[in-house]
Structure 1
């Protein structure tokens, strides 16, 4: 009897590592650049205590899949209800006949695929060694970004910045205990001026990275801006950099690029390219030591679906995975 499988977090958390997510995300964006996807869409809705994102899309390959992710971002959840701040599910279907193959807890996949996409971009855009990594933020995504970048970059040191000094110190200690490279806390300005890879992963709606702090040759992963109004970077950074987006028609609406466009600093046509175009060689990556690149990350369903499909194919025959026959 055919069933829709139900994957809670513990059923796949230990079964994949970051390199698996990097492989799945790279494959998704390669298919995107080749035109082998089912149309992507994004719906954003504000709620009284948070926001919802619904992202849909599919991939067309040897086996084709379509699905959606419905996530709620409620950033007082932890304090108010002892719940994760981001909650949701991913729905995966067989794109040959629409059969619902599986439903997944979404936050782990979201965290890992977001970081994996930054790593894919860094493969092509990272500056020359030595790599000094600056992280602005101290949440789950900050930790995942470090893990992903260590898969593709030879990082010599890490500086971490954030507003809450206690959380910052605790996070830096946790990272320091896990790694064998120098890890220190620092001011925003010092972190930016002394890092040639900078990752911003906060829910900020006001820019906090000054364009004067960015050194020639820097790669910036702008992760936090993924909905209208979110903003981490001075728009002048976008104006003075080469911009690579995950999906161009998303970053001009909800990514860091939205603010540079609204301020008439750039036009949509000034976006250098998309992640899939780097992977397939349609555009060049870094060509000199002085170029500043920004990877404008907004997240896309093709990343979620490719990762969900990877998990489904690997674990679908495991006896401990529950299932339900919706049509019985």
Structure 2
């Protein structure tokens, strides 16, 4: 059974390859049962966690399961809030093929899915990106987006200003035109693409800040309790989701439904429809678009499959 180090896995999952692999995976489809969600410990307590089990299998003979453990109280202990592992098996025999660092797969596929959506939904001439959140996923959004748009300006905002500064510095070292933003409202108003990758439980983005023709990307929140944008952000906007599971899981969408700013019937489509060409993407330069993702095991499977095939090809 293969077990590559995280650094090698990052190299195998380069964003040009990964965005393309996700596009193909959404077009092809896979069997993706509803994820299992379990609360570990007593909900609401500092040491309580959420464990997600996310299986998927495809027609090509691969079966994978990701286990994700989210402990929001870990920050107080100087630990990451999320830990995960990914197991890849043969769907024909059940034999284990590889074990991957689930954190790397999750963070990279999340950023790559955001970039895939932006390729369909952001204006073709979008040049400026604001990333809200400088954590593991937030630090990857700009490199992913840079594979689908020519970015002239990248700003990073985080509630922890020093984290935003460190993230921007790391991006500059990768050759990207990044700087830290200190005024969130000003940064949102100036951005063609606003991408939120946080664990916020109260809205950070306000509708009046969003420019006509902008694209709002919400990839951080994935439970009904979490939310990154106020309900009005969904009013008078064209809204897509990653999968049909999102309306039941996303606090952003549930809040918008409750406020009357959006209806489930008005959702324009999902990544499968966009990849297959069965639903349209952006229709005009002035249209304000929103993409809301909660993640799907299809993305994890596509990522693990991409890494596994490269590993086995390099052994021959």
TM more than 0.5: yes
> Contact 2:22–2:299 (CA<8 Å) still a contact in 1?
yes
Q: Of the candidates 239, 242, 251, which is equivalent to residue 243 of structure 1? A: 239
Bigger strand share: 1
Cα displacement string for residues 159-212 of structure 1 (whole angstroms, at most 9, x for unaligned residues): 222211222223223323433535342311111111010001110010111111
> Contact 2:13–2:108 (CA<8 Å) still a contact in 1?
no
Q: Which residue of structure 1 aligns with residue 44 of structure 2?
A: none
Per the TM alignment, residue 148 of structure 1 is displaced from its structure 2 partner at its CA by 0.3
SS of the residue corresponding to residue 105 of structure 2 reads helix
Cα displacement string for residues 88-139 of structure 1 (whole angstroms, at most 9, x for unaligned residues): 1112222233333222110001111011111111111111425111111111
SS of the residue corresponding to residue 245 of structure 2 reads helix
Q: Which residue of structure 2 aligns with residue 183 of structure 1?
A: 179
> Contact 2:9–2:104 (CA<8 Å) still a contact in 1?
no
Query: Cα RMSD between the aligned structures?
Result: 2.1
Q: Of the candidates 73, 97, 101, which is equivalent to residue 101 of structure 1? A: 97
> Contact 1:59–1:65 (CA<8 Å) still a contact in 2?
yes
Per the TM alignment, residue 293 of structure 1 is displaced from its structure 2 partner at its CA by 1.1
Would you say 1:45 and 2:38 are equivalent positions?
yes
* 204-213 or 119-128: bigger deviation: 119-128
Would you say 1:20 and 2:17 are equivalent positions?
yes
Q: Which 5+ residue runs of structure 2 have no aligned equivalent?
A: 41-46
Q: Which 5+ residue runs of structure 1 have no aligned equivalent?
A: 320-328
* 247-256 or 282-291: bigger deviation: 247-256
> When the two structures are superposed, what TM-score results if normalisation uses the length of structure 2?
0.90
Q: Of the candidates 55, 68, 77, which is equivalent to residue 65 of structure 2? A: 68
SS of the residue corresponding to residue 67 of structure 1 reads strand
Q: Which residue of structure 2 aligns with residue 207 of structure 1?
A: 203
> Contact 1:40–1:58 (CA<8 Å) still a contact in 2?
no
Would you say 1:287 and 2:283 are equivalent positions?
yes
- How many residues in Structure 1 have an aligned counterpart in Structure 2? 309
> Contact 1:28–1:59 (CA<8 Å) still a contact in 2?
no
Would you say 1:115 and 2:114 are equivalent positions?
no
Structure number with greater CO (CA < 8 Å, separation at least 6) is 1
